[in-house]
Chain A
Amino acid sequence: MAMRQRGAHPTVATAIGIFILLVGTARPQNPSTAPGPASPPSSPDEGKDIGGYHVVQSIELGGRIADITGSQAMYDTLVNYQTGARILEQSLSMQSLSHHDIFDTLTFSSFGWGGDPEQAARMRVSKYSWYNFSASYQHMQNYFDYNLLANPLNPAAGANPFIPILNSPHSYYNRHNIYNYDLVILPMHRISFRLDYNRVRITGPSFSSVHQGTESLNNENWNSTLNGYRFGADFRVTKKTTLNYTQLLQYYDGGQTYSLNPFNSWPLSNGQSVTFGLPWFNGGSPCSTPQTNGIANPICNGYFNYGLYQHVNTSIPTEQVNLKSSSLKWLDFNGQYQYSHANSSTPLYETFSGLTTRSNLLAYNTPGSSAKSRWNSSSADASATIHINDQMRLVETFRFRNFSVAGTFLDQENAYFNAASLGAGSLLNPIATFPPTILTHSSSSPADITNEVNTNMIGQRTFQNDFQLQYDISRLFGVRVGFVWNQLLIQPGNLFQASLGDVYYPNTPNRGNCVGLPLNPDGSCTFVGVITPWGSPTTTINRYSAIVGGWYRNGALHANVDVQIGGADNWIYRIDPTTFFNVKGNVSYAPRPWLMLAGNVLFQQGQNTAGDIQYNQHNYLAMATATIMPGKRWGLDLAYNFDAIQQNIILCFEGAVVPPGSVPCLGDPTLMQTNSVYQTHTQYGYFALTLTPIDRITLRVGYNIVDNQGNTTQFNTLQPLGPLASIYQTPLAAVDILIHKNVTFKAGYNYYQYAENDFVGPTAPRYFHANNTTLALRYAF
């Protein structure tokens, strides 16, 4: 199938654009965290009858004023509201009075236009029994710069000079745009059809890094598009039996490209600039003495240039069949089968020039390299609800899934070195060519010509059976018991590597895979053969758990509790629990129309007590909320949440900093073993008070706080606790004044503060506070 041209959208998008100028049904943001003031409650008389439609619309025009103190990067990561004019919200609802029009209802709402980091628009048009059409647009300015992430934490002690990494080497500044269009033709008819299109675009810059001797900072450019087309038909075979078919076609195009960022560049003695990258006097990188009197050391890991270009093309056709039947009075049957097959390919164009001291490598490129991969995934689900009577039923659910992901990377590389007569590799030495020149190699040098095939495969087969007996003792409460069995057969990776002809030039041609092999007449060595054979084993895990639950409701009081206890006979990842125990409970109580109380509890625990793992994990949570709205004059919203999370596990690591209680592991004195811990207590508090002293004025004050305190095993003395000792708070105040019929003036103040109460680390402080003011005029009818 030919791909759609980039940028070509269905014509319905044009129709959507027309409606952007109108207003519709309000879809208000959560008032407790909304950046702007609250909207007054809608009057039931709101709206006008226009042209045979009851129209309700609103639009909010205004702007933001942002005043930030402290870390702009952290503010942009967590909040990112900047100064400027905005169309804060708009909404439109049109309902046909006669139902003889082209549509019965139309709703359109959007927010964030003009520069907010989150923008969304949602539209739905329907003609009952004829069609439903919905469209949505979601935009996110994906700004992230938490500077401890991927930060090598360069030490100040001994550095000459001290070069801290002040921003995250993996920060994002890109944009995420998601479009969805869904059309159902003839819903609620015997045959109905579904047509869907969705598009995901990720564009823009970010930063990344690459390891080649040392680690350079790279510019990473995103430009990827996923187009998805879905066609489906729903056939009501009988009144109680439905057959559905869905065909999904997805096409992914793009991928990131990388280029060298000249961060931390120094001149060589010949004037040429070399980039030493991120680590500095850190772990021996880039070398012990990278510069002397401002001149770069030529015998030091460094970059003149780096670039990587790929262009991924992936096609994913997926077929799905569903069957739903309640034709037998005692049986509800549900079945689904899905098959998905993906094919992906990309070339690899990668270049490097500089120096890798360990291997004397001066440069490499990858002409002809490419990768191909695919997945095959099939799944079958069947469930049966057997109604023994109108109170008791058995629910049996069986799931089978089998997938494999396999791929081949054809690795063709040319490596370049300087002449052996010049000695070890140096940033000042030119690249030489063999023959005739003998090149400088070490025993760690790669082949001069690499021609290898790498094939890998992972897969998983899953069987799952869930059996429950559900009994509604009365219409007020019910109980259930059940048993879940789950079998996983996992192949986590099966790698095959073979050389199609690696060539090693002199000097030292008998290195790498050519050790012990005879030389070619010209003194080089050629290796052809298997490097890594197939043969990684699979792991089978059987998990089983018993479930007991109950629910109660009597109108004012709703409550439910679930208890699950289980175990597994094996594990594949050290954090897989071999025993687990969960209790969840929810309760909501509304004794009066103006009073709502609610609470949640969660007790979740998992362990893997196998040998030298001793993994123990828990999450204990309690939440309470209260909403009090006795009348239109005032209302109060309160909430408190406490969440305790802990993970303990034995870690074996190499480190000069030895946590207390560590012992050598594996009999290797360079490796230490410790029972490591991650523990955090997170408290959330919230209140919002709304006052309407007179009908024209609404006041609101509120406060949000997330207080996260904890501790963790520290391996690096320069590594702060960061978010594990943080407080994020956001008080707000707002006033709405109805200044004229249908026109409301709104003013809101939001304060944002993020603080960490541990040391900053060898990077920039992350504290910020911001005073944000939002002013708006809202017109509605």
Chain B
Amino acid sequence: MACFSVNGLRLLLLALAAISLFNSETISAQTTKSQTSNALPAQANGQYADNAVCQTCHQELWEKHFATTPHSALLKGNQHGCQSCHGPAQAHVDGGGDVTKIIRFETLSPAQTAAICTTCHQSSLETQNFSKSAHLANGVSCTSCHSPHKSSDVNFMLAKPQTELCFGCHASQKAEFARPYRHRVDVGLVQCSDCHNPHGTQVGHQVRAAAGQFAVCTKCHTDTMGPFVFEHAPVKTDEGCMSCHTPHASTNPRLLQVNNVNFLCLRCHTPNTNGAAGEPIGPAHNQSTKYQACTMCHTQIHGSNFSPVFFR
């Protein structure tokens, strides 16, 4: 603090003032004049009505639900309130509530819904990949998971609690997390969004990535992150952790793909006369004895700094 001079403080205050001036306008959803994307419906054009006029017909929705959601911030300043999402409403009002003159989300395709929502929600890294996501490609739109008008979840306006929401479509994962060896999603310790970004990511299965774009697993399982001098190649290359583990849950301990470790290892470490490069070498240990417990000796199987055969 001693080196934080008065001039530095002045400079910081000046920068903050400049940012606030530049930043005074929050993001508003729709332009008034022209359709800004081929993805948007035609009702995105038109003239805006006064924000308060929506309440005259949609009073209950306004008072009981919308006012308590984060979207209520759209009522501030020169923003357009409900019209930020539903489009300019003057024609709808002039038409006595003509439903064809307003954007109704139940009439939109998933891509059209996403185009409206991402008009504002595109600057966040969490949602930037939605247009290329597996969810959108499979007809899952923003309103499939979020309930913008009312939700018991005041933070993300999810239609249901997260795990229950995901299991609604991904029902087989509910069965997976009932298995004996599992990530503790069933008790709420781990959430689906800890590993997956439902809005899409750069890699498959909408899985997040750790530093260096390595497997998200190392975010929590930091002892496997490395870098190690002697890496176990399949841990970092090709399929990565899923070479040996099933990531959600397993009937096998340590979430392994098979029940016996020697079978797991021998699948790759078998002498092969037709292999590329002849690697990895197979064991010359008698599988009928103690050597069936491969990791009793090869303990540092995720990588070692001291032993090329992962003894220590």
Contact call B189/A475, Cβ cutoff below 8 A? no
A395-B137, A623-B175 known; A715-B292 Cβ under 8 A: yes
Chain B residues with CB below 8 A from A369, complex form? 306
Instruction: Kindly provide the distance from the CB of A321 to the nearest chain B CB, expressed in whole angstroms.
Output: 11
CB distance from A368 to the nearest CB of B (A): 13
Question: Given contacts A209-B296, A371-B229, is CB(A713)–CB(B138) below 8 Å?
Answer: no
Distance (Å) between the CB of B128 and the closest chain A CB?
A: 5
B212 and A316 contacting across the interface, CB-CB below 8 Å = yes
Q: In the complex, what residues of A have CB within 8 A of residue B287's CB?
A: 653-655, 657, 715-716
A618 at the interface (CB under 8 A from B): no
Residue in B22, B25, B139, B188 whose beta carbon sits within 8 Å of that of A552 in the complex:
B139
How many angstroms from the CA of A340 to the CA of B172 in the assembled complex?
Answer: 36
Given contact pairs A144-B253, A390-B112, A405-B231, A570 touches B288 in the complex (Cβ within 8 A): no
The answer to whether B76 has its CB under 8 Å from any CB of chain A is yes
Is the pair A573, B268 in contact by a Cβ cutoff of 8 Å?
Answer: yes
Given A215-B296, A576-B238: A107 touches B137 (CB 8 Å cut-off): no
Residue interface bits A311-348, CB-to-B below 8 A is 1, else 0: 01010101000101010011010101010101010101
A153/B290 in contact, CB under 8 A: yes
From A326, A549, A651, contact of B137 by CB (8 A): A549
Report Cα–Cα, A475/B41, bound state, in Å.
Answer: 12
**Residues in B114-128 with C-beta less than 8 Å from chain A:** 118, 120, 122-125, 128
Q: How far is the CA of A252 from the CA of B311 in the complex (A)?
A: 22
B292 contacts A719, C-beta separation under 8 Å = yes
The stretch that binds B, out of A8-16, A295-303, A515-523, A677-685, is A677-685
Q: Tell whether B39 is near chain A: CB-to-CB under 8 Å.
A: yes
**B170 A641 Cβ-Cβ under 8 A:** no
* A389 at the binding interface (Cβ < 8 Å): yes
Residues of chain B with a CB closer than 8 A to A612's CB: 272-274
Q: Is the interface of A mostly helix, strand, loop or mixed?
A: strand
Nearest A residue to B308, CB-CB: A495
* B contacts with A: majority SS: loop
Partner of B277, one of A190, A537, A652: A537
Question: Which segment of A233-241, A424-432, A733-741 sits at the interface?
Answer: A233-241
Chain A's closest residue to B64 (CB) is: A44
Say yes or no for B95: interface residue by CB 8 A criterion.
no
CB-based contact B259/A678 at 8 Å:
yes
Binding stretch for chain A, among B3-11, B50-58, B179-187: B179-187
| B197 beta carbon closer than 8 Å to chain A | no
Q: Which of B203-221 contact A (CB under 8 A)?
A: 203, 211-214, 219-220
In the complex, which residues of chain A have a beta carbon less than 8 angstroms from the beta carbon of B267?
Answer: 574-575, 615, 647, 649, 651
- With the chains together, A188 CA to B280 CA distance in Å? 52
B284, closest chain A residue (CB) = A654
Chain B positions 136 through 173: 1 when the CB is less than 8 Å from some CB of chain A, otherwise 0: 01111000100000001111000001011000111110
A458: contacting residue among B223, B231, B252, B280, CB under 8 A? B231
Give the Cβ gap from A406 to chain B, nearest Cβ, in Å: 8
B299 contacts A210, C-beta separation under 8 Å: yes
Interface size bucket, A side? 35 or more
Mark interface residues in A635-660 (1 if CB within 8 Å of B CB, else 0).
Answer: 00001010100010111111111000
- Pair B139/A477 contact, Cβ less than 8 Å: yes
Q: Is the CB of B180 within 8 A of A706?
A: yes
Q: Given A190-B23, A456-B229, are A715 and B288 neighbors across the interface (CB < 8 Å)?
A: yes
Q: Are B170 and A152 in contact (CB under 8 A)?
A: no
B49 at the interface (CB under 8 A from A): no
Is there contact, CB below 8 Å, between B131 and A152?
no
Q: Which residues of A contact B153 (CB under 8 A)?
A: 25
Q: Is A408 an interface residue (CB 8 A)?
A: yes
Query: Contacts A350-B312, A610-B274 known; A723 to B290 CB distance under 8 Å?
Result: no
Q: Contact flags (1/0) for B221-251 with A, using CB distance below 8 Å?
A: 0110111111101101110000100000001
13 additional contacts (CB under 8 A) given A190-B25, A401-B213, A653-B287: A128-B70, A151-B296, A169-B296, A178-B220, A226-B222, A255-B223, A373-B228, A390-B112, A475-B109, A586-B169, A613-B274, A655-B286, A728-B180
Of the A-B pairs whose beta carbons lie under 8 Å apart in the complex, a sample of 13, sorted by A's number, is: A178-B220, A188-B27, A191-B19, A248-B211, A282-B289, A312-B305, A329-B36, A390-B111, A403-B236, A475-B107, A652-B271, A666-B271, A719-B260
Q: List 8 A-B pairs, minimum CB-CB distance, nearest first.
A: A611-B274, A551-B139, A407-B229, A283-B289, A641-B175, A128-B73, A152-B290, A492-B233
